[in-house]
């Protein structure tokens, strides 16, 4: 297997994904109408933010680089990891974040 050398930013891009636990029924039932959508649920303790590195050659290949409980933590990590992505080689980035 050959190793490809280059800047990590040439091989990966970063994204944040919010994972929420299901909040229950999608519909509220009433006597006067068949159904209606409930108000949007408030985000709470059942959420998790994933920092993911997506391969540029194949967007179906996604690596989780970190998991965070709040949006603020995830955004701070995204900024920090993006700096490393721009500065590191592919192999250094993979060793630090993807293994």
3-class secondary structure, 31: coil
pTM above 0.75, yes or no: no
Phi/psi for 80 (5° steps) reads -65, -45
Domain boundaries, the chain: 8-97
Task: List, in order, residues 6 or more apart from 77 with CB less than 8 Å away.
Answer: 51, 66, 68
pLDDT one digit per residue (tens) for the chain, 99 residues = 456 779 999 999 999 999 986 655 555 555 666 555 555 555 456 789 999 999 999 999 999 999 999 999 999 999 999 999 999 999 999 999 998
Residue 5 CA to residue 99 CA, distance in Å, equals 18
């Amino acid at each position: 297997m050959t190793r490809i050398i280059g800047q990590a930013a040439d091989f990966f891009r970063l994204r944040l994904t919010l994972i929420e636990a299901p909040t229950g029924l999608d519909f509220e039932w009433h006597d006067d109408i068949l159904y209606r959508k409930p108000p949007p649920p408030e985000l709470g303790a059942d959420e998790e933010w994933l920092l993911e590195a997506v391969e540029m050659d194949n967007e179906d290949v996604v690596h989780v680089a970190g998991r965070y409980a709040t949006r603020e933590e995830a955004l701070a990590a995204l900024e920090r990891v993006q700096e490393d992505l721009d500065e590191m080689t592919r192999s250094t980035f993979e060793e630090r974040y993807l293994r």
